[in-house]
Structure 1
Amino acid sequence: MFDDLDEVRTDLSNRLIRAANDRKAPMHTPAVVTSDVDARVMVLRAFDQKTWTLRFHTDTRAPKVGSIEDDPRMAVLFYDKGAKIQIRAKGRGQILRDTEVTKSAWDNGSNFARRCYLGAGPGTESDAPTSGLPAQFEGIEPSDEDLNPAWDNFAVLLVSLEELDWLYLAHTGHVRAQFRRRGDEWQGRWVSP
């Protein structure tokens, strides 16, 4: 049973660290919501515990990029069914193109993963079911040289967290805590579920 706010904040942080580093972690693919109330599942690539920043990868041509640049307010929903813990996070998104962070993220990806940025942009209409990939890269890992045009379509989405809502579902009674960021400090409180 969680009964200490510092313990809950540590649990939050540890779950986000694991979600970013373990592709089998239940919170590895949260729902990400932009200010235009559009939601999608994304892969959490990194969590910076010092700055409480989430990192995702995105295609520069995706509609969410324009939404985030117009209004950076975002929400991210994590759920661990086995632990019965839900984390709702709110923050501000930032799209990074051609920066050191973006270059590092690109360099650490596999060619198989980077090939996604070679195809048609997200939401491009098609007459038939399609992956959007050029035919020569369907099921094939492209070379570094083949991927040169894909770099222009790759970006990093950073979400700087400002509010956290942690909910533990228990048959004995649910427990909920909220945290709000004030500068570098987090202020927590217990609330009714």
Structure 2
Amino acid sequence: MNDASLLEDAIAPRPTDLSLIEAMIWTELDRAVHHRAAAGRPAHPWRRAALANVGEDGPEVRSIVLRDLQVDRRELVFYADARSPKVAQLRADPRGQILCWSEPLGWQLRLRCRVDVATDGLDVTARWALIRHRPAAHDYLSPLAPGSPLEASAAPLAPERVRESFAVLTATVEAIDWLELHAQGHRRARFARGELPQWLVP
């Protein structure tokens, strides 16, 4: 049985209780973070999401990879090069929105967030220690900032300098707009901090 059929089984019959749907959303986000691709099993569709935020010239959007989450604090964690434009943009205006889509579930999430950036401290150090010898560390090895013109002479950073380019971004979810696309009828709901869940017109 593949992941798609597992996801389909997980939502059959379709839940009608909003509290249950909200709990299932966070369960799927947890799976997206912790159930990585393996032989014969693709990564969860929500592991790669899109982040939208405000830049100097207007809206900006790019792909991110979800690395961790804290359900009790409604936090999602992803990494970035500290020199990237999005880090400067989020420091200037921490408002963001994360978009997730799952074809097997037929679920779209729009997560309104506040994104905090950290480049030092014990948490950042510990996370860097976990990835510094993995292929993912190469994302932070360039001596040039992301988006810079490519120079043939550019050499990788020395390992002791890479830590300077590693940033941990924590998105605190303030509201979730959930949309289910289904042959038996689409459904939509909103889950916001400090508010009662509410059904919406799809």
Interval containing the TM-score (normalised by the shorter chain): 0.7 to 0.9
CA RMSD for the aligned pairs?
A: 1.8
Q: Does residue 1:122 correspond to 2:117, yes or no?
A: no
Equivalents in 2 of 1:116, 1:133: separation in Å?
A: 14
Partner of 2:161: 149
Name whichever of 89-98 and 17-26 sits farther off: 17-26
Letter in 2 for 1:179: F
Q: Residue 178 of structure 2 aligns with which residue?
A: 166
Query: 3-state DSSP class of the match of 1:82?
Result: coil
Is the contact made by 1:90 and 1:161 (CA closer than 8 Å) also made in structure 2? Answer: yes
How many Å separate the matches in 2 of 1:155 and 1:92?
Answer: 16
Give the distance between the partners of 2:129 and 2:22, measured in 1 at CA: 32
TM-score normalised according to structure 2 size? 0.83
Report sequence identity in percent.
29
DSSP-derived class of the 1:50 partner = helix
Unaligned runs of 5+ in 1: none
- In the TM superposition, 1:22-171 aligns within 5 A as 22-23=35-36, 24-36=43-55, 37-111=59-133, 112-119=135-142, 120-126=144-150, 134=155, 146-171=158-183
CA distance, structure 2, for counterparts of residue 173 and residue 115 of structure 1: 45
Q: TM-score, normalised by structure 1?
A: 0.87
What stretches of structure 1 move > 3 A for 4+ residues in a row?
none
Does the CA-based 8 Å contact 1:115-1:150 persist in structure 2? no
SS at match of 1:187: coil
The size of the alignment, in residue pairs, is 178
Q: Between 108-117 and 70-79, report the one with greater CA deviation.
A: 108-117
Look up the equivalent residue of 1:6 and give its one-letter code: S
Find the aligned partners of 1:94 and 1:157 in 2 and give their Cα distance.
Answer: 6
The answer to whether the 8 A contact 1:62-1:121 is kept is: yes
Could you tell me whether the CA contact under 8 Å between 1:85 and 1:166 is conserved in 2? yes
Per the alignment, do residues 181 and 127 of structure 1 end up closer, same or farther by CA in structure 2, a change over 3 Å counting? same
Q: Is the contact made by 1:180 and 1:187 (CA closer than 8 Å) also made in structure 2?
A: yes
